[in-house]
């Protein structure tokens, strides 16, 4: 039995993984959905550092004495997942990236974006009194889940929380996940338009080719059966 520790993307909380997690549990596995510090409803997004997000993942795994852990990272969640992976030792059984950014060690998310996006993101952080990036309905409509009904897009938008800016500014932690000796997998929605580079680029950083799954960037909400099956097939 695997223990899936499910890490959300930017602006999202553990709620985003709940539909998939229920299906993994129905298949006989454990599934733990995490909300990282600063991304819970009402959390203060100031002074949230990337290393603390990785610490949170490690602490949950150790405090609950979890074993056979498969980290499942969505989108930005690849950053704290990689930071935590090297510290889990024999508890770690694998990593599944879903429409995820596989970071380059020492490079921040902003630095890994095209120049025009770097300037836009930095400007949004600098202009915010809490040094965060507020969510917007337009993100959901045009980037995250362009295939969803308007009422679903509005619901998801209402659940999003401000993204701590330092999570985008802090450099990615190591090690190189290809050196960890555990299975790695990369799943990519066939209608994903949110990633700053083609999914093939991120998959290649983990020595992989992406496995196509149905849906947009937020297919974990619109296609939970397909995403759960793909995670189970990955092992």
Span 4-56, pLDDT tens digits: 999 999 999 999 999 999 999 999 999 999 999 999 999 999 999 999 999 99
Number of domains in the chain: 1
Domain of residue 158, CATH code = 3.40.50.1820
**Residue 133 confidence (pLDDT):** 97
Range of the structural domain that residue 112 is part of: 3-234
What torsion, rounded to 10 degrees, do the Cα atoms 104, 109, 204, 215 define?
Answer: 160
**Residue 174 confidence (pLDDT):** 82
- Check if the beta carbon of residue 97 is closer than 8 Å to that of residue 203: yes
For tokens 């149905």, the residue is: 214
C-alpha neighbours within 13 Å on the C-beta side of residue 108: 16
For residue 205, give the H/E element and its range. helix 199-205
Tens of each residue's pLDDT in the chain, 235 residues: 999 999 999 999 999 999 999 999 999 999 999 999 999 999 999 999 999 999 999 999 999 999 999 999 999 999 999 999 999 999 999 999 999 999 999 999 999 999 999 999 999 999 999 999 999 999 999 999 999 999 999 999 999 999 999 999 999 998 899 999 999 999 999 999 999 999 999 999 999 999 999 999 999 999 999 999 999 999 7
**Residue 123 confidence (pLDDT):** 96
For tokens 């680029």, the residue is: 201
Residues 150, 156, 157, 158, CA torsion sign: positive
Q: Is the pTM of this model over 0.85?
A: yes
The DSSP code for 144 is: I
Q: Which residues contact 8 (CB under 8 A, 6 or more apart)?
A: 14, 16, 17, 33, 34, 35, 36, 39, 74, 75, 77
**Residue 98 confidence (pLDDT):** 99
- Check if the beta carbon of residue 95 is closer than 8 Å to that of residue 184: yes
Q: How far apart are CA 139 and CA 145, in angstroms?
A: 8
- Check if the beta carbon of residue 2 is closer than 8 Å to that of residue 68: yes
């Amino acid at each position: 039995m695997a223990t899936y520790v499910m890490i959300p993307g930017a602006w999202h909380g553990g709620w985003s993984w709940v539909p998939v997690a229920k299906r993994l549990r129905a298949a006989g596995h454990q599934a733990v959905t995490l909300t990282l510090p600063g991304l819970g409803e009402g959390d203060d997004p100031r002074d949230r550092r990337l290393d603390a997000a990785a610490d949170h993942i490690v602490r949950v795994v150790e405090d609950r004495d979890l074993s056979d852990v498969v980290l499942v990272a969505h989108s930005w969640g690849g950053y704290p997942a990689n930071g935590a992976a090297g510290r889990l030792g024999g508890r770690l059984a694998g990593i599944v990236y879903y429409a995820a950014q596989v970071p380059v060690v020492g490079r921040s998310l902003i630095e890994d974006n095209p120049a025009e996006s770097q300037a836009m993101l930095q400007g949004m952080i600098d202009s915010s009194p809490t040094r965060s990036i507020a969510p917007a309905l337009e993100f959901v409509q045009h980037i995250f889940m362009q295939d969803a009904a308007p009422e679903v897009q509005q619901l998801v938008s209402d659940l999003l929380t401000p993204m701590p800016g330092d999570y985008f500014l802090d450099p990615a932690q190591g090690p190189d996940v290809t050196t960890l000796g555990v299975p790695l997998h990369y799943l990519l929605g066939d209608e994903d338009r949110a990633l700053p580079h083609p999914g093939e680029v991120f998959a290649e950083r983990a020595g992989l080719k992406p496995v196509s799954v149905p849906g947009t960037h937020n297919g974990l909400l619109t296609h939970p059966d397909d995403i759960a099956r793909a995670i189970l097939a990955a092992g």
